[in-house]
Structure 1
């Protein structure tokens, strides 16, 4: 009996010793690191269109960690980012590089009326354009055209009239890259012909000429875009454009 109790005591002592050694050799769990993410709002100072803000948003999402939270608030023209301080510094640099003011230029279109090789007269049309923004200029008249009539009862016959624009229309888009400035322009000239159509005396003939194309401009150097023939005559209009930056 004493032998049995001795053996049990030795086994218990060995077991307790082993558990103590295991407890001492097992390292304590490292405390969880606190979340060091920070929320910061970046206001865009030069972006005026929502698509431009979305382009910057896409660039940021492609460049920083996928765990970061990024959103564009169009009503505030701002980008909100939740991420670590080093990622926020990267976002700040990206916005600084992309949120740049757009350059402004003055475009001057010159119409020179020619009869053969002789210059008869010159007209100038100027407009202020921002790189990447579409600009239009219209000069002319709104011409009434009778489209029909109806019985107005006691008021008698009523005439229906619509109006069309005649004259000169300019539709331009100027954009720039690292080594070139590209102009996409459409110049449209329309007028009422002297003769009438065979449909009816109230239906005029509208003469129309369109000059449309893409050109690359040099600052301060006029570029001839083309010529518009004047119907019913031997004259023509030579169209040139000159671009100058506005400081």
Structure 2
């Protein structure tokens, strides 16, 4: 079992497999629990890379990366903070497209609170505005909630549009990411071949050493027999 740090290619493969299987967990589905899903992911990583990671290691790595990304997103949404690069953005976009459970129900910004689903417009605002006489003075305090509702609806519409865009982009293969994965798999295959070659070399040397010891033992027995024969004569 490998216990060293995760390489970037391993992590990308883990996230790609999580996006593929996260929506197949539950009753009457492929995996009855996430534990079973992570065990399957562990087997696929071993098959693809030759590196064995336990299901617990896979789950711990995913939670660590997800928490790190959440902190990076929070930092970038906070006013006055230096923006930082978000790790594995494409992989998490693919995960969001398959399973939106990793997104919070409420996104809190600096000046607003945005819900995932836009609230339905109320009829009270339209009724009160239609019954106001033209000669009456405008009450600016009563118009503020309407402005806030309109602003919130616009922001929600923008969020929905960005979410659809991320989903579309996640569904399209990225040439750079595919080249990176191909390089990673080629490298792992080469390492496996080198490992097998070294193993064969060790086996060959061990066999040669064994034959050498057997020959020495036979020579020693033959020498003892010669000495015994000379002593008898």
Shorter-chain TM-score range: under 0.3
Structure with more contact order per residue of length (Cα contacts < 8 Å, sep ≥ 6): 2
**Structure ranking higher in helix proportion:** 2
TM-score (norm 2): 0.21
Decide which structure has greater strand share.
1
Asked which structure has the greater CA Rg, the reply is 1
